[in-house]
Amino acid sequence: MIRLQEFKDYCRVKQGLAPNTISQYSSYITRIDALAGGLEEAIERDGVDKLIVWGKEQTSDPFHLYPSAARAILNRYIQFYLDKDSAEVQEEEELVQEAEQSSGLAFRLEKEMHAAVRRQLSNIEAGLVEEGAEVQVDTGFIDILARDSSGKLVVIELKAGKCPAGAMEQALGYAQALSDQRKEPARVLLIASEFSDRIRAAAKRTVDFKLLTYEFSLKFAELK
């Protein structure tokens, strides 16, 4: 059984979604839960990766009319499930934000990080070739879209500082929407300075999904 009210609160507080969007999500996730015979039971029994594959294969209501939207909402519930200790997550995020505000070593703007990553894609993975930045799909805008050495699509999602709650679900939603749009599979690279144990564990259970961290270096110049 799903925890519908908690999920609605999560969408409102953590994701900042509008009331009409939350109502739509509630309708979708209730029907998906019924179709799966219990989403949380399926996650605990089969794991996240199998549930995502199950979502890709569904053609019944609510996947029949807008499959990419239904899969994105399924992914959002999976992330909610993984982040169910939301009070702890919120406290961690606030501590990270305070630390970054007081540190001169953090990326201040994600666009600076985007530019740095785009200049050195080959350092991230040999053979990566950029296809575009801020590429629009049904679920939002992909930070960087690339292809790997085998020609497979790669969704690269960037987060300045510690990876926030919801980023994994966001990246998976982008990849699924892209796959639906292009009719070909896509991998995901999620880049941040640090990941929680929860996200690291979830990534191990998810196919074609990789976490990468970045580091800073200092340069000194004498003022004359």
Question: What is the tens place of the pLDDT at every residue in 180-190?
Answer: 999 999 999 99
Bridge-partner residues for 144, per DSSP?
133, 156
Q: How far is CA 16 from CA 104, 160, 199, in A?
A: 28, 19, 21
The whole-number pLDDT of residue 182 equals 93
Identify whether the C-beta of residue 144 lies closer than 8 Å to the C-beta of residue 156.
Answer: yes
The whole-number pLDDT of residue 223 equals 65
Place of tokens 């110049």: 221
pLDDT at 85 over 90: no
The whole-number pLDDT of residue 33 equals 93
CA angle 95, 96, 102 (to 5 degrees): 95
Provide the angle, in degrees to the nearest 10, between the axes of the packed helices 67-82 and 167-182: 160
Band (pLDDT 50/70/90 cuts) for residue 109 is low
pLDDT at 220 over 80: no
The whole-number pLDDT of residue 110 equals 65
Residues in CB range of 191: below 8 A, 6 or more apart: 117, 124, 156, 157, 158, 159, 211, 212, 213, 214
Assigned token pair, 18: 């509008």
Assigned token pair, 188: 């995901």
The answer, as to whether pTM is greater than 0.85, is: no
First vs last C-alpha separation in the chain? 68
Assigned token pair, 37: 């015979």
Whole-angstrom distance, CA of residue 203 vs CA of residue 213: 14
